[in-house]
Structure 1
Amino acid sequence: MKKTILEDFHINIKIKLAFLWASVTFLYLYGDYFELYVPGKTAGIIDGNSLLNNPQKLFLASLLLAIPSLMVGLSVFLKPLINKWLNIVFGFLFTAIMLLIAFTSFSEWRSFYILYAIIESILTSIIVWKAFNWPKQTDLQETSK
């Protein structure tokens, strides 16, 4: 009996990182959307009694959450060395943030938030790992000596 082997192809590290950041971004969006269903959340937003209750906090949160979205494109377009280090630094930062959120969100209504935070921390850990182990290119002149 003949064994069937499915075809696969090599995916560039930049594309892998971009897709990982895209997945993280979607999870942030879903988490924030589903949080609107937590009792009292929309009332707190309307009356100004929320975590982002002033322009400075809102700006800082916007700046922080712009990073994963920007990393989708930057992971494709930046040169390898700066790309590698930005992915390591921001991947580590967001892993730490997500783990902090996971450990401080214990409540019946926020179990979805813990789930997303754990998944996001796994994805950002993979980003750090992939970036840290960025494939090396062998110098053709060195190999011909």
Structure 2
Amino acid sequence: MSTPSGPNWTLENTKVDVKIKLSALWIATMLCYIYGDYFELYVPGKLHSMIDGKMLPLGPVTQGMLIGTSTMMATQALMAFFSLVAPPALNRWLNVVFGLVSGLIVAMVITQGGWMFYKLLGVVEIALLMTLVRLAWTWPRCSLSLETSR
């Protein structure tokens, strides 16, 4: 099957809704987070410290540490969903607040040291989160007459 080509045929660049962009940014951030933790298992000594119940450089693993980590992951997963379904005003503020908080947490984690791949993924996560915050902050506006007619 051939596709039309030439000067009369161009690919359509469809507009993507801001909610879908925000959701995709949360998913991309979460994937970087997960892959960073997965690749970290290949760092010499990491599995041994996990078996010993230690989370380097923090020390012995506690339920509080695991709840904190789980909360961060659950927040990202929930924000991927809420970005699609929450009303715009609430959606905007949830994305700004949780995007900034998540970015600060990632920045604190990557400044603790670690291998370069982990820092690289952390920088990518921060860039994605700051893009997300900017997109939410500059959420497109519509006139009041358009909004009330929907």
Q: Same fold (TM over 0.5)?
A: yes
2:30 is the counterpart of 1:25: yes
Instruction: Specify the alignment match of 1:116 in structure 2.
Output: 121
Instruction: Specify the alignment match of 1:49 in structure 2.
Output: 54
- What displacement does 1:65 show? 1.8
Secondary structure at the aligned position of 1:104 is classed as coil
2:101 is the counterpart of 1:96: no
Native 8 Å contact 2:72 2:102 kept in 1:
no
Instruction: Specify the alignment match of 2:44 in structure 1.
Output: 39
The one-letter amino acid paired with 1:59 is I
Cα deviation, 1:9-31, whole Å, max 9, x if unaligned, reads 11110000000000001111100
Instruction: Specify the alignment match of 1:14 in structure 2.
Output: 19
Cα deviation, 1:51-94, whole Å, max 9, x if unaligned, reads 46111211121112211111110100101111000000011111
| Counterpart-to-counterpart distance in 1, 2:8 and 2:120 | 39
Q: TM-score, normalised by structure 2?
A: 0.85
Q: Which runs of 4+ in 1 moved over 4 A?
A: none
Q: Which runs of 5+ in 1 are unaligned?
A: none
Q: CA RMSD in A?
A: 1.7
Q: Which runs of 5+ in 2 are unaligned?
A: 1-5
1:82 corresponds, among 90, 103, 112, to 90
- What displacement does 1:4 show? 5.6
Secondary structure at the aligned position of 2:139 is classed as coil
Secondary structure at the aligned position of 2:31 is classed as helix
Cα deviation, 1:112-139, whole Å, max 9, x if unaligned, reads 0010000000000000000000010112
The one-letter amino acid paired with 1:133 is T
Q: TM-score, normalised by structure 1?
A: 0.88
Higher helix share: 1
